[in-house]
Structure 1
């Protein structure tokens, strides 16, 4: 039997551009998506970034921990017509991030076995070959796992903050309207930031099933006192929906 969401209402809280793709997947699996984007992503084109681009040829690796990082990095690259040297290697936290990299005609030379920063740091440091210097592409809310591990190991690196994640406070009324009027079966979180924005904007926290894309997001949800947490083994939106389907079947 094909996986099905059996008409479940799924609240999608991720940023607007990314929520449409997620909503289409929900529909394809027989669910009802409710899109309330609680985050805004904006490119962060600072003078410091422009100066760093002049030294781009000095780096051995450029590391991306999100597709947002890839998209906004290349937006800045293209704006200033900067060329990336042939010797530079790319690392991506997962296949979604690599797919975004492919859109710019580049491929990842390294992807960790599990899509999170902790595993990425451990496995990247174990890979043979020249490691540094590294350019780590980040957002303003990125965790400090990679910088901390690289510092511990004495690896030369720089960070480049190319995008800003902020709470989409304009959605507060819509969120609470949906929470009060809809019987939502599953509330999805695709980052710790979606958890935090939800907790800030929701007037009342419903007794619902909360679905987290990975263990870091799950830890954030648990720290905020949310229960009935569902987290797939593979940290993707496809796996989230399969985990929901499995949960429904077990309940039946």
Structure 2
């Protein structure tokens, strides 16, 4: 399908700085001006549970990676390349990160890149009494571990990274001014925290302008969401979003282009 480009529109990228370049390159190739303003910082964590998983991986039947950061954190502590147990991943970017560390082809990659999608993929697999390792951020939703445990699995959640509000909020406060001054055309959110952190920072730093921010997001800019989990959080503020059918940044960009042209 042929699509027009962004026609020099300013596209804000709120995802963590480590993941922003790929999306920025897509925006540039489609004729847009990327503005990288992370509302989320990722910090790898070497938790006690993560060390236990890395040192006892032979005891597990499955390990599940839900993000590239989880993969990176695991291999920071794991002293080998090959993972001996079954592997499940959410998202093609997570799979790509996994394959950087050797021949670790995932056994399970759901069509829907969500916790619910992975649980659906597990429906045809007997996981009763199976030990499952789940390295991720502790701020993630509990849908996945609780869903696995309901089916009889023994799940060990290990903190692998933290998703924190950026220490330096200068760029985010500058973004507020740009949004209110009409200098932003499109803003993208790739996780619920990229949106809720923006709201929280403005509530704490510029509370008197929060209503103006929400008005601007409703009326003055196009809001792109990577998928329904993120989109539903945004819609609680009556802000309309454009979402792709498949939850990747490329498909999000394509969906935005199709809707604006």
TM-score normalised over the length of structure 1: 0.89
SS of the residue aligned with 1:121?
helix
Number of residues of Structure 1 aligned to a counterpart in Structure 2? 244
Shift, 1:228, TM fit: 2.2
Shift, 1:169, TM fit: 4.3
Cα pair 1:14 1:190 within 8 Å, conserved? yes
The corresponding residue for 2:205 is none
State whether structure 2 residue 236 is matched by structure 1 residue 235. Answer: no
Q: 1:12/1:139 Cα in 2 relative to 1: closer, same or farther (>3 Å)?
A: same
In structure 1, C-alpha distance between the alignment counterparts of 2:124 and 2:4, rounded to whole Å: 37
Cα pair 2:242 2:256 within 8 Å, conserved? yes
Shift, 1:141, TM fit: 1.5
Superposed structure 1 runs of 4+ greater than 6 Å apart: 128-131
Cα pair 1:138 1:161 within 8 Å, conserved? yes
- Over the aligned positions, Cα root-mean-square deviation in angstroms equals 2.0
Shift, 1:92, TM fit: 0.7
In structure 2, C-alpha distance between the alignment counterparts of 1:156 and 1:126, rounded to whole Å: 17
In structure 1, C-alpha distance between the alignment counterparts of 2:4 and 2:174, rounded to whole Å: 30
Spell out, residue by residue over 1:209-231, the C-alpha distance to the aligned partner (whole angstroms, 9 max, x if none): 211001100011112x0422111
Correspondence list, 1:1-252, <5 A: 1-77=2-78, 81=79, 86=84, 88-105=85-102, 106-127=104-125, 132-171=130-169, 172-202=172-202, 203=209, 204-205=213-214, 206=216, 207=219, 208-223=221-236, 225-249=237-261
TM-score normalised over the length of structure 2: 0.86
Q: 1:18/1:85 Cα in 2 relative to 1: closer, same or farther (>3 Å)?
A: closer
Shift, 1:147, TM fit: 1.0
What are structure 2's unaligned runs of at least 5 residues? Answer: 203-208
SS of the residue aligned with 2:75?
helix
Cα pair 1:53 1:82 within 8 Å, conserved? no
SS of the residue aligned with 2:109?
coil
Shift, 1:175, TM fit: 2.5
